[in-house]
Structure 1
Amino acid sequence: MKIDQLEPKTVWNNFSRLNAVPRPSKKEEQVIAFMLDFGKGLGLETFSDETGNVIIRKPATSGMEDRKMVILQSHLDMVHQKNTDTKFDFDNEGIEMYIDGDWVRAKGTTLGADNGMGVAAIMTILESESIKHPAIEALFTIDEETGMTGAFGLEGGVLKGDILLNLDTEEDDEIDIGCAGGIDVTATRRYHLKRATHSDIGLQITVNGLNGGHSGMDIHRGLGNANKIMNRLLYLGLPYHMRISSLEGGGLRNAIPRESISHINLGKNHEAAFRNEFTALSEAILNEFKIQEPNLKISLEKAKPAKLVMGLGAQGKLIKTIYGALNGVYAMSAAIDDLVETSNNIARVQVKDGQIKIGCLTRSSVESAKMDLAHALRSVFELGGFEVDFKGEYPGWNPNPDSEILKVVVEKYKELFVEEPKVVACHAGLECGILGQNYPEMDMVSFGPTIKGAHSPDERVNVTSVQKFWKFLLEILEAIPKK
């Protein structure tokens, strides 16, 4: 069976059309043009703002003119992650999808169901001539995954709607009414390159096979962080006068790093002792993660020795700084059971050509706690001689349990599925908090189909769940309150 033969066919067809268009974050030119052509081709009011967000308006269907206008919102960009052995150009190729039982996956890359399924659902409503709905304002934001610049750039007064349905959550039995805010913490420093000795051998350390995942939604699962694991292995080399020549681990800040590779030089007379300790520690780490990370691989192989290496002083501070910097859950919420309140993801570590760069994403649903952890990280990095920069800050979304649309959505869920939905806040970043700054009276909820492994090549969306989500969305549109 082909993807566009799945039910609901119109939604899957639009998802396939969308996934044929390259749309990595910060490179959305092609998908913006695609969406503008889509809206104009339907004869609907269609435009983009100065930031690049696309807005398409559709009048209410007959009999629904007295209902409040609804904003249907999803983001156009997707996280671009791939397996090391996958050859794929996110800038020029469309996603290759396949059906795996009751799931749809991509071949070695992220799928883009986050947030492509939401986009596809909105497209289907816009082009339909039979779906009943109030006046619709479709908002397709850009660059959600790496800064939320689309939401930040949307000016007040552009939107006319009263209710916003964000279609960007990943469990089909949850109604989201709040999310965490975040801030990028970046640490940098220079180091002196030293000439290696002629007696050195070269070695490559590789950590791979980790699950990765969403640095907000998956941070509590105890998954392995390739940068922290690599650092434990490098720490072994300090007594043996190991010298790092390069280090590359992780990628995007909102993805838990799956891979890290380092190249080191080591004196020949230290190799046997180092290998013994390396083997012992590797086995211990594999045992620690045998449940969460059954595919974790750690290897030590011969490589060409480097001519230039990092100085010992900077190297020691780098390794000890990463050891001391928190990764994972910092605090759980006291207000909501089982919700992570504050966390940090050491997402990227790069050592190359005399420059060190460490990138983190710190999240919290409590603003003061977010900055507390950010300052704690700053302190650790500055003790290691790093310069620290805070950027990309975005606010959380404060829950409103008395929301009118929340009551409508909850009642409709119970009516359709004969069970209570979970009304939750999430540790991921949603655009609702940012949009609410310029539209403080907007009534907002978020929901979506079940998506697993977002931000990793294991990303997959559940077919049955998409059917449930679609039915739910259509019923909500018919139940929108009167003006």
Structure 2
Amino acid sequence: MAVLSGLEPKAVFEYFEKLCAVPHGSGNTKQISDLCVGFAKELGLRWRQDEVNNVVIWKDASPGCEDAPPVILQGHIDMVCVKTEDCAKDMAKEGLDLRTDGEWVWAEKTSLGGDNGIAVAMILAILADGSLPHPPLEAVFTVDEEVGLEGAFALDCSDLKGRKLVNLDSEEEGVFTVSCAGGVRVDCFLPGKRAPLNGEAGYKISLEGLLGGHSGGEIHKGRASANQVMGRALYSAMERVPGLRLADVRGGRFDNVICSRNQAKAAVPADRAGEFEAFIREFDAALKNEYAGCDGGVTLTCEKTALDGALTPEATANMLRTLLAVPQGVQAMNVDFPGLVQTSLNMGVMEMKEDGLYFGISVRSCIATQKDMMVQRLKAILELGGGSFTLRGNYPGWQYDRNSALREEVLGAYKSVCGKQGTIEATHGGLECGLFVEKLPGLDAVSFGPELHDVHSVKERLNVASTQRVYEVTRELLRRESAAGK
């Protein structure tokens, strides 16, 4: 017997359980993509599946609504696969073990994939509903959203006629997202000539105890970037102890994560070793004072270590001077949404190699021209330091539309169903809506969804009652849109 068979909306949870029965982690979406195609065939609907496994399904308007403008319903079919240490499941080959207590749905010892499987299930249920008045529908199921919006990047939108997009990839009921940041990764390089030591004392310098966090959701909290702070600490040390030579510096694993730990190595004149150690203690105290309210666990320490070489003094000075000039953190706040970051940078990954320093920066902004300006600034700083850069993963932002008709229609549907006002918000993270807005000129978009907690973790859970309300809000919106064709 199906685990979710007693839950309402019945059709939604039936589809959700079928989707959860097949593996569908990012990069492993062929089986679930084929399943969606199979549903389209069963319903007798026109469909298209592309080479990366995106699926588009079309449904004609209900009788009498043929003249209504088409509406796009969109979600992604990949999930983040996480499991407990004692879970023996192979998530690349096996489906999920669903559980429910009637109030929540979760998966035993794994992530649930409610982000964004519940959107796909709701859309399929709408496509299967023969009683709902609706305009022409274009259902778009994208792949690999969780690893860089890859499906949306690859999707050919030339056969999509809708200019209203309902994205069901939000996780807080009653909150309607109407803007997101665009972003780009900047891979930076600063050359560094090395030379043998000349009797200097070697030190390992460690910066630890920082909270870190996601650069889209937590960059505004004032937390320190270990990569940026280490560059500042070493530049300051060089001013106090002339002749300091940088041997190594590295920190971070991902460009979009605020770095919480950095470790460097440096050589200082042997007769000034005590002065260097005293400086590190003083700077540790300064950092503890500066970050007491947001990153109180910060510690900067040093210990002697053996080194076989380091950068020349000239290369060290150039590298540390350039790092000090590279911006980090919030650059502009949004005027339409007080408290929302508009533009930011994050120096996420840093690694010294034989030929110099490599570091990656994630640039975000919902204003395309500000994103471009930050890339220009980085280019100028790197050029002054004799360095270079390349760009990758460039995705567009979704700028707030003050005149959005869809936003008002969604809010009206929500109030009609739930009896209260919805909340309009924007996010500094990236959403697929930005790519669709770029690909479909004149597109009006809104993102919302049911209550999901602890996504991307083994504690992920989906609220049943919220799913029913959000499903009914979506249906009410389509009823209202269908009226335009009568």
Question: What TM-score, normalized to structure 2?
Answer: 0.75
Report the 3-state secondary structure (helix = DSSP H, G, I; strand = E; otherwise coil) of the residue aligned with 1:23. coil
Structure 1's unaligned 5+ residue stretches are none
In structure 1, distance between residues paired with 2:271 and 2:99:
51
Verify: 1:188 aligned to 2:189, yes or no.
yes
Q: Look up the match of 2:279.
A: 277
2:38 to 17, 40, 48: 40
Verify: 1:443 aligned to 2:441, yes or no.
no
Cα deviation for residue 379 of structure 1 reads: 1.5
In structure 2, distance between residues paired with 1:218 and 1:16:
35
In structure 1, distance between residues paired with 2:174 and 2:359:
37
Q: Is the 8 A contact 2:177 2:425 kept in 1?
A: yes
Verify: 1:230 aligned to 2:235, yes or no.
no
Verify: 1:245 aligned to 2:248, yes or no.
yes
Q: What pairs with 1:394-433 in structure 2 (closer than 5 Å)?
A: 394-433=395-434
Q: Is the 8 A contact 1:250 1:257 kept in 2?
A: no
Q: Is the 8 A contact 1:248 1:351 kept in 2?
A: no
Report the 3-state secondary structure (helix = DSSP H, G, I; strand = E; otherwise coil) of the residue aligned with 2:449. coil
User: CA offsets per residue over residues 117-173 of structure 1, 9 Å max, x none?
Assistant: 544544665678998866543322345456544334333423244531112345433
Q: Is the 8 A contact 2:114 2:462 kept in 1?
A: no
User: CA offsets per residue over residues 65-96 of structure 1, 9 Å max, x none?
Assistant: 7865432222345679999xxxx999899999
Q: Look up the match of 1:345.
A: 346
Report the 3-state secondary structure (helix = DSSP H, G, I; strand = E; otherwise coil) of the residue aligned with 2:410. helix
Aligned Cα RMSD in Å?
A: 4.8
Q: 1:306 to 1:335 in 2, by over 3 A?
A: same
Q: Look up the match of 2:173.
A: 172
Cα deviation for residue 409 of structure 1 reads: 0.8
Q: Look up the match of 2:360.
A: 359
Q: Is the 8 A contact 2:176 2:447 kept in 1?
A: yes
Q: Is the 8 A contact 2:210 2:261 kept in 1?
A: no
In structure 1, distance between residues paired with 2:321 and 2:22:
45
Letter in 2 for 1:231: G
Report the 3-state secondary structure (helix = DSSP H, G, I; strand = E; otherwise coil) of the residue aligned with 1:259. coil
Q: 1:46 to 1:206 in 2, by over 3 A?
A: farther
In structure 1, distance between residues paired with 2:393 and 2:231:
26
Please identify, of 271-280 and 352-361, the stretch whose mean Cα deviation from structure 2 is larger. Answer: 271-280
In structure 1, distance between residues paired with 2:14 and 2:237:
52
Q: How many residues matched? A: 470
Q: Is the 8 A contact 2:22 2:32 kept in 1?
A: no
Q: Look up the match of 2:25.
A: 23
Letter in 1 for 2:316: Q
Q: What pairs with 1:83-98 in structure 2 (closer than 5 Å)?
A: none
Q: 1:199 to 1:289 in 2, by over 3 A?
A: closer
Q: Is the 8 A contact 1:318 1:384 kept in 2?
A: yes
Q: Is the 8 A contact 2:16 2:117 kept in 1?
A: no
Q: Look up the match of 1:72.
A: 73
Cα deviation for residue 477 of structure 1 reads: 4.1
Report the 3-state secondary structure (helix = DSSP H, G, I; strand = E; otherwise coil) of the residue aligned with 2:158. coil
In structure 1, distance between residues paired with 2:209 and 2:467:
32
Question: What TM-score, normalized to structure 1?
Answer: 0.76
In structure 1, distance between residues paired with 2:94 and 2:48:
26
Q: Look up the match of 1:210.
A: 211
Q: Is the 8 A contact 1:194 1:311 kept in 2?
A: yes
In structure 1, distance between residues paired with 2:265 and 2:218:
32
In structure 2, distance between residues paired with 1:385 and 1:77:
42
User: CA offsets per residue over residues 337-356 of structure 1, 9 Å max, x none?
Assistant: 43333222222222223242
In structure 2, distance between residues paired with 1:64 and 1:444:
21
Letter in 1 for 2:373: D
In structure 2, distance between residues paired with 1:431 and 1:36:
22
In structure 1, distance between residues paired with 2:343 and 2:75:
25
In structure 1, distance between residues paired with 2:109 and 2:252:
19
Q: What pairs with 1:5-16 in structure 2 (closer than 5 Å)?
A: 14=16
Cα deviation for residue 333 of structure 1 reads: 2.9
Report the 3-state secondary structure (helix = DSSP H, G, I; strand = E; otherwise coil) of the residue aligned with 2:230. helix
Q: Is the 8 A contact 2:177 2:446 kept in 1?
A: yes
Q: 1:460 to 1:262 in 2, by over 3 A?
A: farther
Letter in 2 for 1:285: L
In structure 2, distance between residues paired with 1:184 and 1:34:
30
In structure 2, distance between residues paired with 1:449 and 1:42:
24
In structure 2, distance between residues paired with 1:355 and 1:90:
40
Give the fraction of aligned pairs with identical amino acids, expressed as a percent.
29
Report the 3-state secondary structure (helix = DSSP H, G, I; strand = E; otherwise coil) of the residue aligned with 2:481. coil
In structure 1, distance between residues paired with 2:386 and 2:473:
53
Q: Look up the match of 2:221.
A: 221
Q: Look up the match of 2:291.
A: 289
Letter in 2 for 1:345: N
In structure 2, distance between residues paired with 1:388 and 1:469:
45
Larger Rg over CA atoms = 2
User: CA offsets per residue over residues 308-349 of structure 1, 9 Å max, x none?
Assistant: 544443333333322221112212234544333322222222
Q: 1:438 to 1:270 in 2, by over 3 A?
A: same
Q: Is the 8 A contact 1:244 1:265 kept in 2?
A: yes
